[in-house]
Amino acid sequence: MFVDQVTVTLKAGRGGNGCVSFRREARVPKGGPDGGHGGDGGSIVFVADENISSLAYFRFHPLIRAKNGAPGEGGNRQGKRGADVRLGVPVGTVIKESGGGAVLADLARHGLSCVAARGGRGGRGNASFATATHQTPREWQPGRPGEEKELFLELKLIADAGLVGFPNAGKSTLISRISAARPLIADYPFTTLTPNLGVVDIGEYRSFIVADIPGLIEGAHLGQGLGIRFLRHIERTKLLIHVLDVSPYSGRDPVQDFKAVMKELEAFSPEVAARPQILVANKVDLLGGDRSRLVRLRRLAARRGIPLFAVSALKGEGLKPLVETAARQLAELAAASGGGTGETGGEAAGS
């Protein structure tokens, strides 16, 4: 099950109470106070793990509790600290305060962590209250409660390039051809119900990650179709690969499809819509003698200064130049930003 948004309630552990105790030992007539401190409560920590792909665990575990600290003991023995709870989340998880609050952490790289709820401190035992004028203290401190929070977890996939386009444009077939991803492929709309990630190997130990975003339709930013659920997954991409169906059997106009998808992207995020693009005219093997649809699309690409590749994802035709151009553009973008192709960095806020 692919889950990319979930609300969780966290309850960190309470600190243990301090202890009131006095030393009792044979032939020691004046044993002093020896009550130890309580142990700290356990904290709850989120850790980005590249081996996890969904937030499904939290759908079935909406309440997370950490252990309380143990109370202090005599003999100046401190109570045992409550164990921390470390929870793995997919790389790209954004942790926010519930109800549209502030972002607490963006776990954009494997191994980044965030202490989401801190355990309470243990209370002081009576040994720490002893002074020269107060030699038999009976004071002690209770443990402090741990933090309780309701947080919203949102997954935004980490990918270098994102495939966008209308349903049945051939995005799933394309990603299955250029990477090892194996999404469901069928001849009906909205075959892809969850985003798919694929690693594209470009040789010489180089690769980049591409995401197949479920088909967009007009009104996607308003919740129509599946777009509103998955548009967030292209927010991190550096390059958009716009797949358009140019076959005469689709009943669609590829130029109008391009304009409609661009309108949805701009409504969702002007920043995303302004990112570099590559146009892919797919299903050219079905054009036959009438190539007017492809010609119109080439004119559109020329006017906008966007590279266009005519391909047949099903037959694997024209894919090598497309992959090479995408890899080159990603390398140029990475060099301009000081990053590296195929690897997304970032520091976790609040970690």
Residue 102 has pLDDT above 80, yes or no: yes
Query: What's the pLDDT at 348?
Result: 54
Strand partners, 162: 211, 240
Domain boundary among 101, 132, 155: 155
What pLDDT band is residue 229 in, cutting at 50, 70 and 90? low
pLDDT tier, 197 (very low <50, low <70, confident <90, very high otherwise): confident
Query: For the chain, first and last CA: distance in Å?
Result: 28
The answer to whether residue 351 sits within a structural domain is no
CATH number of the domain enclosing 236: 3.40.50.300
Full domain range(s) for residue 264: 161-337
Both 132 and 53 in a single domain? Answer: yes
Q: How far apart are CA 227 and CA 230, in angstroms?
A: 5
Last residue of one domain, picked from the residues 155, 175, 192? 155
Confidence class for position 230, pLDDT limits 50, 70, 90:
low
Last residue of a domain, one of 134, 155, 176: 155
Average confidence score pLDDT of the chain: 85
Does residue 317 fall inside a structural domain? Answer: yes
Question: Could you tell me if 288 and 191 lie in one domain?
Answer: yes
Distance, CA of 136 to CA of 342 (rounded, Å): 65
Whether residue 41 is found in the same domain as residue 167: no
pLDDT grade, residue 251 (50/70/90)?
confident
Question: Which residues are paired to 89 by β-bridges?
Answer: 48
Instruction: Please give the backbone phi and psi of residue 228, each rounded to the nearest 5 degrees, phi first.
Output: -65, -25
3-class state of residue 332 by DSSP: helix
Q: What was the pLDDT predicted at 245? A: 92
Is the residue at 344 inside a domain? no
Residue of higher predicted confidence among 211 and 18: 18
Q: Which range in 83-97, 158-172, 219-233 is most confidently predicted, on average pLDDT? A: 83-97
| Number of domain units in the chain | 2
Write the pLDDT tens digit of every residue in 295-319. 999 999 999 999 999 999 999 999 9
Q: How far apart are CA 134 and CA 326, in angstroms?
A: 76
Give the tens place of pLDDT for each residue, 159-178. 899 898 888 888 888 998 99
The verdict on 89 and 194 lying in the same domain is no
How does residue 221 score in pLDDT terms, banded at 50, 70 and 90?
very low
Question: Quick one: 99 and 212 in the same domain?
Answer: no
Same domain as 207, residue 121: no
Residue 346 inside a domain? The answer is no
Instruction: Check whether residue 110 and residue 166 sit in a common domain.
Output: no
**175 and 319 housed in the same domain:** yes
Report the percent of the chain where pLDDT is more than 90. Answer: 53
> Which CATH number belongs to the domain containing residue 104 in this structure?
2.70.210.12
